[in-house]
Amino acid sequence: MSADKHINILDFTIQSLLRRKFKNAGIILVFSFVIFIAGSILFLSYSFKREAVLILKDAPELIVQRTLAGRHELIPEKYAEIIARFPGVSDVSPRYWGYYYDSLVKANYTVISADRSLQTSNRLFRGQMPGEGDFGNAAIGRGIARARFIDIGDDVSLIAADGKVMDFRIAGIFESESELLTSDLIVMSRQDLSRLFGFPGGVATDLSVSVSNETEAPVIARKIRDRFPDTRPILRSEILRTYDAVFGWRSGLILTLFAGAMIAFIILAWDKATGLSAEEKKEIGILKAIGWETSDILEIKFWEGLVISLTSFLTGIILAYLHVYFLGASLFAPALKGWSVIYPEFRLAPFINMYQIATLMSLTVIPYIASTIIPSWKASITDPDEVVRG
């Protein structure tokens, strides 16, 4: 069988599709939209997940929080001294941080203290990081700089826990490429942070524990829990697992949008699979009557399904890519932003999972072709006279 025959059948199929151009254009439009939504979700969630895992690779191996009356509570620094003596623990550092609500711009900041500075070669930070004993200086994230219209050398005033105003000189600023990590951060010295929040002496927000061998971290976490029953250790693997779950298929956004898109597709395919229109049946009957084989009719329907589904899939997936990586997923942004005033203006790194794309293709293109062929096969094995007369 020559390739010419197949090309001729494809020409005939396209001619036939053009006869019902509005109906078929409508199907391509809806099908492309379904792929666009599903593809955007896949791109967005996979990129977030990959970026979070890469960025948080060096997060603390173990965080120890204290709980009191079922809530997170400040932890005594003396816990750190005891935990540091556990075998396998290489270092315990108290972390001092908290949230600050800025009523001026109605935004929440994360205030954190640093006890060491970044390397000067770090391209994502400009200026100086305020260290231990460095009073009155702060480094801020790009989101805060945008919200307060400030830059290096400017001053920012914050209201301390005792009601007094504390002025900070902006000594450093995180570059916009690090916004997914630093957008709402204010870094200051531990002494300034303690004054700002009115921390009592000898307590920290939580403890960061380093272990000599990471595989021993769960054992050390258990030991800490046994020694201090009022604590809650959080392993780095749990932190990474959280992001796996947040952007996994069970997350609200993914499930809601994906389910909606898939239901729309199922309705579309179901409508095709449950029967042919009278006009389509008549067309099959006439073709059979003038001598076309059943296999030729099935080939027409195969091409019909392929032309519609492949065109829609390719269009939808390209638009989804442009939407997520060039337009910043602008359709989903209102849901992702929530009530946040400071929202990171990040550009996601285009990590693509080809396996997911192949799965999406096999879940949409193949069922659509099948749903086009099966009813036509039923019509084409029936007597032409019966089909034409209906």
Partner 1 sequence: MRRSSFFFLYVFFCLLVIGAIVFWSEREGSRFIAKSPDLQEITAVLRLTDISFSHDARYTRHPSQADLFSAFQDYPGSIDHFPSGSVTAPPDFSLLSTRITVRKR
Considering only residues 250 to 289 of the shown chain, the ones binding partner 1 according to CB under 8 A are: 250-253
User: Would you say 191 or 315 has its CB closer to partner 1?
Assistant: 315
Which one among 5, 23, 72, 78 touches partner 1, defined by CB under 8 A? 72
Contact 27, 307 (CB under 8 A): no
Q: x/- string (CB under 8 A) for partner 1, residues 159-198?
A: ---------------x--xxxxxxxxx-x-----------
Give the CA radius of gyration of the chain: 31
Under the criterion CB under 8 A, does residue 321 sit at the interface with partner 1?
Answer: yes
Quick one: which segment of 191-199, 261-269, 318-326, 379-387 binds partner 1 (CB under 8 A)? 318-326
Count interface residues toward partner 1 (CB under 8 A): 91
Return the residues of window 106-125 that contact partner 1 according to CB under 8 A. Answer: 107-108, 110, 112, 114, 116-119, 122-125
Compute the distance between CA of residue 14 and CA of residue 18 in angstroms, rounded to an integer: 6
Which one among 5, 222, 227, 337 touches partner 1, defined by CB under 8 A? 337
Return the residues of window 34-53 that contact partner 1 according to CB under 8 A. Answer: 48, 51-52
CB neighbours of 198 closer than 8 A, spacing ≥ 6?
Answer: 160, 161, 162
DSSP classification of residue 372:
H
Which one among 105, 150, 239, 273 touches partner 1, defined by CB under 8 A? 239
Q: x/- string (CB under 8 A) for partner 1, residues 15-34?
A: x--x----------------
Which one among 20, 30, 33, 65 touches partner 1, defined by CB under 8 A? 65
Which pair of tokens denotes residue 234? 């959080």
The residues pairing with 209 across neighbouring beta strands, listed in sequence order, are 62, 92
- Alpha-helix runs per DSSP H in the chain: 3-19, 21-55, 78-84, 142-148, 179-182, 190-197, 217-227, 236-246, 252-273, 278-289, 294-325, 333-337, 354-380, 384-389
C-alpha distances (whole Å) from 139 to each of 67, 97, 110, 121, 337 are 30, 14, 12, 17, 24
User: Would you say 96 or 292 has its CB closer to partner 1?
Assistant: 96
